[in-house]
């Protein structure tokens, strides 16, 4: 997703500038071409040499304003070069300049000389952030479709204040950049309600023992994130999320999150949300069976059954397939080994799905618990689109691209 992509980063004067070192480093390591502009005040926090080293390219300052590149002004060259522009930290001063179209330094001149999507990551003291003038500027800038936002969050600030104004973390900023590079800033899912299931359900024998599966929920989180970045209203019904850490929590910002444990809890939550959904994406690994009897207290080891009677679990996807309306789209996932296409097609037809992603979980770095995935995307009209191994966020975008092309009606 990042190989050869052109990312321009503008850094204003704020202590949060140190966080952008990690962003620049990760982008460069992933193969992106990165250019960095620092305002004069930004250099009081992080030096141009730091960003030049991390980006493998000289960093620019106002001293370079009139530098010529191939006979053209630098801000024109950089503005036309960039595929996406990140402004982080975005200070109250730079925010005001953007609102009024000021171009009094290299960074703001480059913003005006560019047409690519711009991601804004504000950072400032809570009292500054909550000023009416700052909030007015913030709302006005968001009304411009070119600008996209991440954060700010709340927490302890460098001034020891606890409150809003904390810049988004690198693990929040990087995925948003990836989405903008894929969509080119288009909010093509705006107005859609997307309902997503995620994670692996648990069917308990007693309070501490259960039948489960290896799903971590990472694919569902990536789907929610991609849909949100594309402008959709997202509801995520998720079983326990495993190993996603703080990043998983950040992915849920802006998403209506409904945590569940068992397949029946997931079923009830999904059916409750179904009438308002346009697309339903079933990425959860839902149990097929459950213990026939539940024990309210932990069973002593000596009392554990040597054979475990099982009961079936309702097929949620199949039930939704019978209930969905003509305008709704139902998309499933099929975690398979060996031949992945034949059983996925069978699942698509039996459950009345509109599309399905067949995942080879027996391949390295694919399927449960990994950060990458691969699939064959299938629809009810016989199309098959292979997606080679990629990040789960890219997989989510590729799936949404596929669903966008499904015939209507």
Ligand-binding annotation for 218, yes or no, is no
pLDDT (tens digit per residue) in 327-372: 999 999 998 888 889 999 999 999 999 999 999 888 887 778 788 8
Burial of 381 (0-12, 13-18, 19+ CB in 10 A): exposed
User: CA-to-CA distance for 133 and 315, rounded, in angstroms?
Assistant: 53
Phi, psi at 36, each rounded to 5°: -125, 135
3-state class of 79 per DSSP?
Answer: helix
Q: Is 362 annotated as a binding residue?
A: no
pLDDT at residue 246 in the model: 47
Distance CA 196, CA 27 (A): 29
Strands, DSSP E only, in 129-221? 147-149, 153-156, 162-166, 193-198, 203-206, 209-211
Using an 8 Å Cβ cutoff, are 332 and 351 in contact? yes
Neighbours of 148 (CB within 10 A): 21
310: pLDDT strictly greater than 80: yes
Q: Measured between alpha carbons, how far is 267 from 314 in angstroms, rounded to an integer?
A: 8
Q: Is 347 assigned to a binding site?
A: yes
How far is 329 from 280, CA to CA, in rounded Å?
Answer: 6
Provide the pLDDT for residue 51: 96
CB atoms within 10 A of CB 31: 11
Does the annotation flag 333 for ligand binding?
yes
The whole-number average pLDDT for the span 222-233 is 95
For residue 216, which of 5, 59, 65, 370 has the smallest C-alpha distance? 370
pLDDT digits 0-9 by tens, 53-73 = 999 999 999 999 888 777 789
Which residues lie closer than 8 Å to 251 by C-beta, 6 or more apart?
175, 221, 222, 224, 225, 244
What is the model's pLDDT at position 245? Answer: 55
- The string of pLDDT tens digits covering residues 79-101 is 999 999 999 999 999 999 999 99
pLDDT at 382: 87
- Measured CA to CA, the distance from residue 179 to residue 212 in angstroms comes to 32
- Global model pTM greater than 0.85: yes
Residue 2 scores a pLDDT above 90:
no
Q: State yes or no: pLDDT of 375 exceeds 80.
A: yes
CATH superfamily assigned to domain 6-183: Flavin prenyltransferase-like (3.40.50.1950)
3.40.190.10, 3.30.465.10, 3.40.50.10300, 3.40.50.720: CATH of 193-404 = 3.40.50.10300
Q: Is 210 annotated as a binding residue?
A: no
Burial of 102 per CB tally in 10 Å (0-12, 13-18, 19+): middle
| Beta-ladder partners of 289 | 312
Out of 134-148, 203-217, 223-237, 263-277, least confident range: 203-217
Do 6-183 and 193-404 agree at the fold level? yes
Distance between first and last Cα of the chain? 33
Q: Any idea how long the chain is?
A: 409
pLDDT, average across residues 167-179:
92
Supply the pLDDT for residue 384: 94
Q: How confident is the model at residue 409 (pLDDT cuts 50, 70, 90)?
A: low
Domain residue extents for the chain: 6-183, 193-404
Which residues are identified as catalytic?
159
Q: Residue 163 has what pLDDT?
A: 76
Provide the pLDDT for residue 104: 93
């Amino acid at each position: 997703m990042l190989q050869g992509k052109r990312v321009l980063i503008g850094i204003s004067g704020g202590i949060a500038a140190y966080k952008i070192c990690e962003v620049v480093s990760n982008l460069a390591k992933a193969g992106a071409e990165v250019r960095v502009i620092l305002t004069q005040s930004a250099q009081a926090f992080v030096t141009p040499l730091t960003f030049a080293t991390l980006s493998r390219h000289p960093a620019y300052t106002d001293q370079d304003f009139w530098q010529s590149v191939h006979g053209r002004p630098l801000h024109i060259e950089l503005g036309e070069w960039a595929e996406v522009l990140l402004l982080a930290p975005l200070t109250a001063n730079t925010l005001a300049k953007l609102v009024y179209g000021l171009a009094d330094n290299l960074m703001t001149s480059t913003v005006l000389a560019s047409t690519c999507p711009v991601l804004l990551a504000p950072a400032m003291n809570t009292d500054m952030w909550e000023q009416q003038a700052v909030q007015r500027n913030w709302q006005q800038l968001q009304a411009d479709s070119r600008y996209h936002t991440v954060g700010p969050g709340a927490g302890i600030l460098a001034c020891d204040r606890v409150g809003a104004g904390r810049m988004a973390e690198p693990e929040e900023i990087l995925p948003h950049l990836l989405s903008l590079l894929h969509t080119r800033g288009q909010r093509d899912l705006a107005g859609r309600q997307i309902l997503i299931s995620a994670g692996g359900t648990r069917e308990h024998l007693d309070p501490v023992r259960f039948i489960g599966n290896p799903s971590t929920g990472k694919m569902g989180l990536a789907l929610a994130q991609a849909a949100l970045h594309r402008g959709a209203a997202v509801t995520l019904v998720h079983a326990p999320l495993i190993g996603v850490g703080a990043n998983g929590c950040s992915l849920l910002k802006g998403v209506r999150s409904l945590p569940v444990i068992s397949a029946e809890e997931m079923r009830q939550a999904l059916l409750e949300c179904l009438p308002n959904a346009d697309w339903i994406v079933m990425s959860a690994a839902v149990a097929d069976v459950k213990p026939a009897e539940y024990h309210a207290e932990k069973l002593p080891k000596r009392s554990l059954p040597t054979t475990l009677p099982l009961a079936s679990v309702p097929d949620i996807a199949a039930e939704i397939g019978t209930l969905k309306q003509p305008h709704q789209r139902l998309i499933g996932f099929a975690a398979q080994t060996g031949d992945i296409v034949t059983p996925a097609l069978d699942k698509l037809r039996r459950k009345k799905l509109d599309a399905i992603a067949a995942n080879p979980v027996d391949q390295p770095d694919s399927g449960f618990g990994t950060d990458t995935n691969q699939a064959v995307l299938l629809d009810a009209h016989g199309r098959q689109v292979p997606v080679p191994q990629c990040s789960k966020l890219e997989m989510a975008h590729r799936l949404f691209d596929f669903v966008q092309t499904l015939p209507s009606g």
